[in-house]
Amino acid sequence: MQPSIDAEQHRILSSRVSTPGHATVEQVVRLVHSVANSTLLRQLAVVFLAYFIAGKLGQATTNIRSSNLGPVWPAFGIAVAAFLAYGYRVWPGILASAFVIAAQGSVALPAAAGQAIGATVGAAGGSFLLRRDRGFDPSLVRLRDAVGLIVFGAFGGAILSSVIGTASLYATGIQPYSGLAAAWFIYWLGDSTGVLLVTPMVFTLPQLLRIGSAISAWELVGLVALVGATCLLIFGDTLLVPIRLHALAFAVVPFVMWGAIRFGVAGAALTVGEIAAIATLLTALGQGPFSANKPFTNAVLLDVLFIVLALSGLCLAAVISERERIEKEREELIRERATSETRRRLAAIVDASEDAILSTDLNGIIQSWNPAAQRIFGFTAVEALGQPARMFVPLDQQQEADRIDRRVIAGERLLQFETTRLTKAGTVLNVSLAASPLRNEAGRVIGTARILRDITEQKRAHEALSRVSGMLIAAQEEERARIARELHDDIGQRVALLAVQLVGASSQGWPDARTAVERQIAELASAVQSLSHELHSSKLELIGIVASMERFCEEITAQYKVRIDCSARDVPEQLPSSVSLTLFRILQEAVHNATKHSGSATCEVRLWEAAGWIHLVVADRGRGFDVAEVATGRGIGLISMQERVKLVGGHLSIESQPLKGTTIRARVPSTSPDASLS
């Protein structure tokens, strides 16, 4: 079989030979054929050498052979394996090697030629019968493969080789053993045994080199060692054992079963091959149970032992291998069905999902598009599949989308990432994006999976809630102002009038109570005034945020006996009332929390303006707290500060750890409109 030259190669060759100064067409064709034949030459050399070595091993046991005929001929197993592996084109290598081996024996050249032809025809015939079963596997993974090799490759092919070989011997006057029938029988058994012993090893022994477990490797070494020791005891008539163990010739069967069960066909073939080699060698040396009879009987007994061992081991290993294969196929079928069912359920979930679910390849091309995606974005599956996912990404979000793609393809998962996307009609939607890498069975990223939830209505509701929160805070401030006016204008005036009356009464006869009453009334008036400032500081509107902040810190210092380090710089004199009020309320809440809960005797307050932002920092070195734990509590102080800052477009952060103090940072724009608190 010659390799064909494809059209491109032919075009190149034609273009070359058509150019003057290059090689002729005949030279190029010869070059191509020589390259094509190089593989065949290597195969012929391998076959010739393998057959020659196996033949020499077969001829080594001269004591149990008769006229170039013996009980085991491993070279025939090599011939069958060569035809199965390389095809019929290697017949010259087998024929030549068989002739050389036979000619080096004790027969004439015509007999050697007949034996070589018989070996070649028999091996080719056996492989032909095996090749008729297109599913035949020479590694014998099924019982039918093992039976096929036994029936067709060994016994069937050996019939042809033994008939031709025996006829050639008798035609040249050579009569081995004790007659034509006995010679043919030994010839047939020898070639059959060679196939059963050698051919499986050729195709399966490389599997033993791929044993990954060290335990299995040592087990194989132990098996080989035990088989060798047992064979020496049974077939070797060793002096270490005073009795003969000839009756235990079949005691090696358990080792064959061990090899078949633990290592498959390769283990069985290796075990049987080792037993056959040792038994044949020791028998040739005149030892063991098969050395005391006539050569014909010894040869037949050896062949029967080897055939029984080979049949048992190969069939057992093939059955076990087939059962394992069927079990694996069944498990694979179960996994495929489970996977199919899982995929079907996942597909149903994806189709029924209210969220848009889609997948893309590494280039961002959409590969899947569920009904929710069509409902949310307006693109049908036909319109979306095969298109870049950037088609519904706003222009100002393109770079952000690219960064997300790179992070996900790098293996990162993104959850609840809020962004915007465009519908087919051009409407901008607020979406919550979750993106994960898609991996193949090898774990390599092959794309991305994305879930997009339309949160436009949710954002609108949140904004409406924020407006309501602003209205509530504004109403609260209004109510505080009203209460402050009542306290100042009504209760304060009444208390002052009461003081005047008490002073007059004391002058008319209450000298003992005058001092105490005046002190109590003064304290009451001071408390009412302080309460008025707490509810609504009129000073904030009159003297500004800086002065109001400093006076508040002074009042807290006097009231709670703590030192407050207060400073301000670069703050504009005129700020929107919403900004001033927000900063003042945050200052009140933060300072009150510090004086009540921190346990610190000092507190630091800083206020400054930079790049259009007003910054406020309130810090203490007290006992601190767990921010996450407090955030889940029921207190409204932190929530109130956060809502206030949010309403004026600012930002609030709280940094605190147990025993490490607390720092509250507020940042609001210096141009926030007053309408947010109106």
CATH of residue 426's domain is: 3.30.450.20
Residues 387 and 439 in one domain: yes
Residues constituting the chain: 678
Residues 309 and 280 in one domain: yes
Instruction: Decide which of 454, 470, 488 is a domain's last residue.
Output: 454
What per-residue confidence (pLDDT) applies to 13? 42
Residues 215 and 252 in one domain: yes
* Tokens 């069509």, residue located: 374
Residues 402 and 475 in one domain: no
Inside any domain, residue 339: no
Give the angle subtended at the CA of 144 by the CAs of 264 and 205, to the nearest 5°.
30
Query: What does the alpha-carbon distance between residue 503 and residue 496 come to, in Å, rounded to a whole number?
Result: 11
What per-residue confidence (pLDDT) applies to 614? 92
Inside any domain, residue 346: no
Whose CA is closest to 645, among 584, 592, 564?
Answer: 584
* This model's pTM is above 0.85: no
Residues 378 and 305 in one domain: no
> Which is it for the CA torsion 145, 150, 155, 161, positive or negative?
positive
Tell me the CA distances in angstroms from 204 to 51, 137, 317, 644, one per residue in order. Answer: 18, 11, 12, 80
Count of beta carbons in the 10 Å neighbourhood of residue 18: 9
Structural domain total, the chain: 4
Inside any domain, residue 46: yes
Residue-number span of the structural domain to which 214 is assigned: 41-326
**3 state SS of 310:** helix
What per-residue confidence (pLDDT) applies to 16? 43
Residues 409 and 505 in one domain: no
The radius of gyration of the chain from alpha carbons, rounded to an integer in Å, stands at 50
Phi/psi region, residue 67 (left: phi>0; alpha: psi -120 to 50; beta: rest), is left
What per-residue confidence (pLDDT) applies to 537? 57
What per-residue confidence (pLDDT) applies to 35? 47
What per-residue confidence (pLDDT) applies to 509? 55
Phi/psi region, residue 649 (left: phi>0; alpha: psi -120 to 50; beta: rest), is left
Residues 166 and 305 in one domain: yes
Instruction: Decide which of 536, 561, 586 is a domain's last residue.
Output: 536
Listed in sequence order, the DSSP H helices in 604-676 are 627-631, 637-647
Instruction: Decide which of 454, 471, 501 is a domain's last residue.
Output: 454
Residues 512 and 566 in one domain: no
Residues 257 and 395 in one domain: no
Tell me the CA distances in angstroms from 477 to 486, 528, 550, 578, one per residue in order. Answer: 14, 18, 21, 11
Inside any domain, residue 158: yes
The encoded tokens of residue 631 equal: 């955030």
Query: What does the alpha-carbon distance between residue 107 and residue 167 come to, in Å, rounded to a whole number?
Result: 13
Residues 530 and 481 in one domain: yes
CB neighbour burial string for 264-276, b if at least 16 within 10 angstroms, e if fewer: bbbbbbbbbbbbb
The encoded tokens of residue 427 equal: 């409407």
**Contacts (Cβ under 8 Å, ≥6 apart) of 459:** 430
What per-residue confidence (pLDDT) applies to 511? 55
Mean pLDDT of residues grouped by 10 in the chain (678 residues)?
42 44 54 63 92 86 68 89 92 92 83 90 92 84 88 90 88 78 86 90 86 86 89 72 59 87 88 86 76 74 84 88 87 87 84 88 91 90 90 88 89 85 89 90 89 85 67 66 65 66 60 59 63 58 82 85 88 84 88 86 91 92 80 62 84 88 91 51
